[in-house]
Structure formats: structure tokens, C-alpha cells
Structure 1
Amino acid sequence: MNSVTKLIVALLSILSIALLGLTFFIDQNSELNKLIHYYDLGLCAVFLYDFFIQLYKRKKRWRYFFTYGWIDLLSSIPVMSEFSYVRMLRIFRIVRILRSYKILYAYIISNKRSSLYGLIVFISTVILILSTTLVLHIEQDVGNIKTAEDALWWSYITITTVGYGDYYPVTNPGKLAASILILNGIAIFGAIISYITSKVNTIKKRSSLDQ
């Protein structure tokens, strides 16, 4: 797995702990709690993908699995409010973070440019989650963004700068969050295009050297 992916997974592991920690302080039946669990499901999908990729690339797969691979697998299981004991799995995510510190340091030092792309993706993800959560919290009682699903749809069409106009914030803080999210969308797509261009140029240079 390349440095960018490892950096993103490590940072998202920290983010997942922060999000799950918020669930202790909000109403378990609220739309805000539902939104956090939607994001948790998305993060778990990333962790599960990371686990299978690492398992596939390891030469000694069983050794990987029985050392810390099982921790990676358990950390990819989402927390379900219906089964309170499943929340104990958070400890496995903490273990994953402790292991990720060394990965972060090593790859940031040796791959500064790639690490920058990973950092941009992480910051953009944080902005997306914070903006969506803030808008739902502020607009739920005064605007037309009333459910977690409404907030997710609004954030999607906003970050892609499509702007259908079916859901929109009406308060000043909500509008500010929307403005930040639009700028975030422009930045993330610019970074993705730059990263792809960089990879294509690298492949072209290698091909020219081989010829």
C-alpha cells in the first residue's frame, strides 16, 4: 500500500475515535447521532478495504492476521447502538492509532509530497464532516435540512458545487459552513487532479527510461 493511503487511513483512525466519542454526549435517538453513525460506516468501509489490501499484499498472510491483522479487522466493524457491548471495539481502534504513529512519522519524512496529498484529503474530510454536522445542528429546527439524510445529500451536492437548491441553509452560520464546504470541494478536486497528473507524469518518465 502506498504512503498516501497509509497516511489517510492512520489519520482517519484518529478521526473515528473523535466521532465515536461524540456519541456519548448527544441524544442516541437524535438525527445528529444518526449522521455520526453514517460517517462511522463510511470510515469502517475504508478500514475494511485497508485490511483486505494489506492481507492480499502480505506474503505471510496468517502471520499478519494473528499479529495485528485481527485488530485491523475488528476496528473496521461499525458501532451499532442496538448492541451496546459492541462499543468495546473502540479499544481496537485505539490500538490501531498507537500503531499508526510510527507509520505517520516514517512516511511524512520519506514522502513529503505524497504526504501533503494525504493531509489535504484528511483535512477535506474533516471539513466535510464538521460542516455537515454543524448545518444539521443549526438548521434542523429553522430550515429545511431536518434529517441526517437531508444533511448528507446537501453536503454532497454542495461539495461537488452542483447546488440543486432543494436543500439549503437559511441561518448565517449555516451559510458560512456552506461557503467553506464549497471552497473545500474546489480544493479537494484540485488536489485529486494534481495527484493524478503527478502519477501519470511519473509513469511516462519511467516508460521513457525503459525504452
Structure 2
Amino acid sequence: MNYRQWERASEWPLAGSALTFLAIYSWTVLSQPTGTVAQVAEYAIIAIWALFGIDYIVRLTLAEHRTRWFVRHLHELAIVALPVLRPLRLLRLLTLVSLLQRSIGGALRGRVVTYAVAGTLLLVFVASLAMLDAERAEPAATIKTFPDALWWAIATVTTVGYGDFSPSTATGRFIAVGLMVAGIALLGVVTATLASWLVQ
């Protein structure tokens, strides 16, 4: 099996794994289970992490130019290498986003905007979960509930930034930076698409 065949065969199972991970992670953050249930959820998350690790190793092995592939896929190395930082495990959802991007390909502008908006909605939800997970145990934190985290994420991604809620942990600030960059990128995509349509 070559690289292309492996990528085609694995992309949908990995996308399903990413969605399963999102569902489990969302449930554990919002409901905060304890005991056996929490352990089962953690084992499921570890199993999904193992799937992503196997996929990374196989694709690195099958790549024609391994050094170049390694450099171009550093974000995927981060997906595999950062399971210890719980909120940053959501980097695995980049697999789902890249799959959607490949599916759209050279589609019409309207579909590109739809992809950008859908991706941003997913990003806001994910950032809210990650921020709540990182902040609520911190005594000095202002983000203690999911509605607060969701409000913070919306204000941040739209570059409004009211300042009524802000991260106090290093992980929370890292999440905030990622969300700020994503908000600017979304604005750029929508503006460029509209400008292109007007020019034509």
C-alpha cells in the first residue's frame, strides 16, 4: 500500500475518531464524571490517541521524502505528542478540519465561505470547552462555567474582546492566541471571497 492509498483508506475512520473524541471530551468537561465512568472515558481517549499515533507513523514511513513530510506535518506531531496537556488534545480535531478542506477542494466560493463559517463554529465550541477545562480549577480564574467560556470565545473570535472574561493560566492564554489567529483568518477568508466575487 502506498501513501495515497493509506490516506484515502484512513481519512474517514480518523474523522470518525476525531468526532468521537469531541463527543467524549465534551461530555467529560461538561458533566465531570468520577469513578469508573471517568476511567472508561479516559481509556477511550487514550485509544483514539493511539489511532492517531499509528496513522502518523504509517504515513511517515510511506512518505517518499520523509524529512520534507516531517517538516510540513509538525502540527500532526503535536497532535500525537501533546496528550499530557488535556485541553490541547483538541488539536486532534485538525484531522477533521483538513478532511473537510480536501473534500471541498476547488469548490465554489459560497462553499468555501460555508466551510470557513462551519469551521469557526466548531472552533468556538472547542475553544470554549478547552478554556473551561483549563481555567475552572484555577482560584483566580474568571471563567468558571460553560456559558462564560462560550461568551469569551465568541467575543475573542470576532476580535471584539470585551475584557470581562480573560484567561489566567498559561494553557488558557495559548488557547486564546489560537482563537485570535483563527478569528483574523476567518475575516480574511470572507473578505477575500467577497472581493473576488465583486471583481468578477
TM range (shorter): 0.3 to 0.5
Which structure would you say has the larger RCO, counting Cα contacts within 8 Å and 6 or more residues apart? 1
TM-score of the superposition, structure 1-length normalised? 0.45
TM-score of the superposition, structure 2-length normalised? 0.47
